[in-house]
């Protein structure tokens, strides 16, 4: 059993404080933030000219500077040609914890608009409806800086302690965090060697308990372009002689994915699923029961890819998948004439499990798609950015105890653990640099919150409870026996 000195943190006061500061200050700030179209650089090539990212940085910086946390320093760091980074430090609350560092992480850049928002909602039109705050970026991940500092302030107000804290809020995560390694290298002496990393950019299986992410998938992005003609021709005159580039695309995609099962055919994209993660998937499936299927807005009569819920969880977390996420060369429906198109372009997103090498997957993907093109068509594959997946190290007994206690205190139920299908490049980066650190990867993106899609929302009660839980874990970390 892990040893831990008794806490003097008043959890009831923390819960009341979190409720109060969220309603008085954080929700209004997030409402302003959601109205800002601060899209990540991958979706706004002129982000510097538009200035939205700088506006978001300035807003969050101003709020953070006003937090009455003893010793808090707030700095905006700018490396030439890169998105800015908000970096904050708070000295340890007690001398005994001064040798330890905790890194808290979040981001402020956003995904693009996406179509399909319900009437009255929109990506840059914040709307509060009961417990939900709609709009792009509130839960992914604008709330993170506010929740982190609110938790730290609660520790100072209500008898808690903490180690030295380094808070990193980046502005490039939705583009693959390609700017972040340069900042981590530039700040490595200031960050030090963290013994705990808390990231507030993940999901939750439900809104009823504290969820900790145990693994993240990586990603390989690529663009597939097929040309068969130099210009479009009448489909009546050409079809049957000239193959459709869309059919060629189907043939090529069949090389990398089984269309019937969805299994990715790239050997380099598969790993052996760790037994511990398979067992966690079974526990999660048992705990959530039918909630897994209900988490997605299926049309009437549609069903998931498998009947076994544990298999669905492993599909999302430890098996590779292919998604076609963009296209060019096809006219809009209202402009579709009887023309056999000369070209089709598809944007591919291959999610890969932790342990798969994105460079090896990218190499196999490109070679597979470009080998002996059907009908001698011109096939081009441009590999975009890739990111490694991440598998959490074994959970330290003190953190398992602290996480469960925090979940029971603020949510009234035990903590749960789950793999995530998404990618947080920062986690793999820190996992490589600090292999002995413990990780609490958590967040507010529960069922139907729809990050990256239409009708995205932040579930406010969950965010309030999570704020308290983070305070508890920071306090427990500082009190653990070293």
Quick: pLDDT tens for 148-196.
Answer: 999 999 999 999 999 999 999 999 999 989 999 999 999 999 999 999 9
pLDDT at 1 over 60: no
Tokens representing 85 are 């980074």
Architecture of domain 11-216+389-479: 3-Layer(aba) Sandwich (3.40)
Mean pLDDT (whole number) for 374-403: 95
pLDDT of residue 291: 80
Contact 328, 295 (CB under 8 A): no
Instruction: Identify the band that residue 3 occupies on the pLDDT scale cut at 50, 70 and 90.
Output: low
pLDDT of residue 4: 62
**Can you tell me which residue has the tokens 């998404």?**
422
What phi and psi, each to the nearest 5 degrees, are found at residue 472? Answer: -60, -45
Mean pLDDT (whole number) for 101-123: 97
pTM above 0.85, yes or no: yes
Percentage of the chain beyond pLDDT 90 is 90
Whether omega before 177 lies within 30 degrees of 0, making that bond cis, reads no
Give the domain ranges of the chain. Answer: 11-216+389-479, 220-271+318-387
**Can you tell me which residue has the tokens 């009887």?**
338
* Dihedral sign for Cα atoms in the order 201, 204, 208, 212: negative
User: Residues 237-295: pLDDT tens digits?
Assistant: 999 999 999 999 999 999 999 999 999 999 999 999 999 999 999 999 988 877 888 88
Least confident of 104-108, 187-191, 262-266, 426-430: 426-430
pLDDT at 121 over 90: yes
Whole-number average pLDDT of the chain: 95
Give yes or no on whether 11-216+389-479 and 220-271+318-387 have one common fold.
no
pLDDT at 2 over 70: no
CATH of 220-271+318-387, one of 3.40.50.720, 3.40.50.300, 3.40.50.620, 3.30.70.360: 3.30.70.360
């Amino acid at each position: 059993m892990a040893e831990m000195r008794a806490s003097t943190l008043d959890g009831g006061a923390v819960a009341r404080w979190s409720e109060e500061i969220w309603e008085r200050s954080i929700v209004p700030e997030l409402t302003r933030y959601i109205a800002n179209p601060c899209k990540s650089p991958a979706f706004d090539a002129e982000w510097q000219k538009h200035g939205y990212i700088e506006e978001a940085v300035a807003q969050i910086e101003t709020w953070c500077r006003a937090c009455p946390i003893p010793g808090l320093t707030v700095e905006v760091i700018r490396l030439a040609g890169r998105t800015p980074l908000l970096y904050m430090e708070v000295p340890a609350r007690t001398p005994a914890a001064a040798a330890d560092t905790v890194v808290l992480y979040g981001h402020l850049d956003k995904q693009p608009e996406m179509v399909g928002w319900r009437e009255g909602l929109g990506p840059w039109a914040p709307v509060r409806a009961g417990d939900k705050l709609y709009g792009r970026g509130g839960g992914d991940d604008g709330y993170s800086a506010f929740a982190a500092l609110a938790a730290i302030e609660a520790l100072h107000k209500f008898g808690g302690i903490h180690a030295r804290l380094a808070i990193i809020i980046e502005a490039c995560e939705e583009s693959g965090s390609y700017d972040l390694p340069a900042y981590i290298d530039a700040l490595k002496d200031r960050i030090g060697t963290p013994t705990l990393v808390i990231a507030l950019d993940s999901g939750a299986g439900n809104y009823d308990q504290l969820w900790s992410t145990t693994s993240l998938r990586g990603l390989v992005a690529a663009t597939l372009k097929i040309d068969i003609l130099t210009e479009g021709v009448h489909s009546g005159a050409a079809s049957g002689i000239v193959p459709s580039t869309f059919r060629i695309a189907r043939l090529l995609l069949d090389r990398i994915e089984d269309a019937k099962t969805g299994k990715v055919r790239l050997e380099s994209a598969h790993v052996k699923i760790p037994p511990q993660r398979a067992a966690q998937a079974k526990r999660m499936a048992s705990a959530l029961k039918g909630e897994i299927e209900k988490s997605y807005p299926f049309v009437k009569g549609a069903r998931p890819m498998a009947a076994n819920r544990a298999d669905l969880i492993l599909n999302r977390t430890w098996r590779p998948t292919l998604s076609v996420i963009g296209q060019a060369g096809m006219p809009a429906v209202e402009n579709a004439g009887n023309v056999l198109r000369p070209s089709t372009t598809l944007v591919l997103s291959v999610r890969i499990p932790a342990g798969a090498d994105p460079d090896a997957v990218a190499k196999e993907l490109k070679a597979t798609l470009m080998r002996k093109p059907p009908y001698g068509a011109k096939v081009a594959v441009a590999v975009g950015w890739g990111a490694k997946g991440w598998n959490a190290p074994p959970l330290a007994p003190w953190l398992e105890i602290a996480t469960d206690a925090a979940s029971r205190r603020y949510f009234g139920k035990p903590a749960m653990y789950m793999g995530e299908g998404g990618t947080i490049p920062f986690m793999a980066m820190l996992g490589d640099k600090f292999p002995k650190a413990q990780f609490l990867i958590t967040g507010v993106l529960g069922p139907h919150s729809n990050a990256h899609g239409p009708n995205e929302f932040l579930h406010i009660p969950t965010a309030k409870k999570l704020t308290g839980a983070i305070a508890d874990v920071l306090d427990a970390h500082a009190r653990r026996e070293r």
